[in-house]
Amino acid sequence: MSNLDPIKLSPAFKDYLWGGDRLKKEYNKHSDMEKIAESWELSTHKDGESVVSDGEYKGMKLSEYIKKNPENVLGSNASKFDFFPILIKFIDAKDNLSIQVHPDDEYSLKNNGEYGKTEMWYILDCDEGSFLYYGFDHEITLKQFKKAIEENTLLDLLNKVEVKKGDVFFIEAGTVHAIGKGIVICEIQQNSNITYRVYDYNRKDKNGKTRPLHIEQAIAVAKTVPPKKYVYKDKNILAKCKYFTVKKADIHGEKNFLVTDGCFKSIIVISGGGELILNDHKTELIKGDSVFIPAQNADFKICGNCEVIISYV
């Protein structure tokens, strides 16, 4: 495999009703949308693709770049997936997100034609006192789950967690959850856009309509036990599962890294700035940047003062 230069990506934006303007103000996102709820930083999903923003492939969708390049830019590890394996987002929750749950692969492939959705959250920033819902605070039955939805008492059963900057949550498919207002997140997830809402605060969208709920599907896929806790020997690992590995690196000066022919690497800059150097190719980094490094056997380094999230499969 020959050496391939990194590419910068421009995101697809979503202006869901709960979004704010912090991605514009603090993460260098540029959009005509009044508010940006999500920016899809690494995506080949049909609902919003990333676009190459520099180099000879500038303006090309990420999926087009992957198909056009004759090399195996994704790496051998990605070949076990039928689709591009992951999707990475920034999320700005100015208001509460709905109480929701995502299906696993088996249920989603059968009913939706795409993968399920296991994900992880890294808390980039949050207002004082911000919280989220993360599974149930004790084991319940599906009958109790259904009754709580019908009687509008679901929030009383959920595990309410106050958050701080740097917190990490692994949201396995089937975990009932919701991001609370005042929180900015970097989310790494399976390449899926399937969400089953079970409670939405009776909100109305810009057309004056309540958003649909998916009670039957949610009951079919929900895990009604408290979420598992995960501990990793490597302190730099934020999350690790069969779908993705996510690490965080703090750069103060210069740090060396490795990319292999096993998998591409995604670099998301969450603070500061600097430069990424691979194959004598230099890529400027600023807060909010998304860089895709094609699979190959090579060393690269990041210079400067910044924090990055590195993801691969």
pLDDT, one tens digit per residue, over 248-281 is 999 999 999 999 999 999 999 999 999 999 988 9
pLDDT > 90: what percent of the chain?
Answer: 89
Question: 229 falls in which pLDDT band (50, 70, 90)?
Answer: confident
Which of the pair, 129 or 230, is modelled with greater confidence? 129
Q: Answer whether residue 1 shows pLDDT above 60.
A: no
pLDDT > 70: what percent of the chain?
Answer: 99
pTM of the model: 0.96
Compute the residue count for the chain.
313
Q: Phi, psi at residue 280, to the nearest 5°?
A: 65, 10
Question: 231 falls in which pLDDT band (50, 70, 90)?
Answer: confident
pLDDT in tens, 4-23: 899 999 999 999 999 999 99
Average pLDDT for residues 67-96, to the nearest whole number?
91
DSSP string, 136-201: ESS---HHHHHHHHHTT-GGGGEEEEE--TT-EEEE-TT--EEPPTTEEEEEEEES----EEEE-T
Q: Do domains 7-221 and 244-312 have the same CATH topology?
A: yes
Classify residue 23 by burial, with Cβ atoms within 10 Å: 0-12, 13-18, 19+: buried
Q: Does domain 7-221 have CATH number 2.60.120.10?
A: yes
Domain ranges of the chain: 7-221, 244-312
Q: Answer whether residue 2 shows pLDDT above 70.
A: no
Vertex 255: Cα angle to 39 and 28 (nearest 5): 25
Catalytic residues: 197
Q: Phi, psi at residue 33, to the nearest 5°?
A: -65, 140
Looking at residue 80, its pLDDT comes to 87
Average pLDDT for residues 207-211, to the nearest whole number?
87
Q: Answer whether residue 70 shows pLDDT above 70.
A: no
Looking at residue 275, its pLDDT comes to 98
Q: Phi, psi at residue 164, to the nearest 5°?
A: -140, 160
CATH of 244-312, one of 2.60.120.10, 2.40.50.140, 1.10.357.10, 3.40.50.300: 2.60.120.10
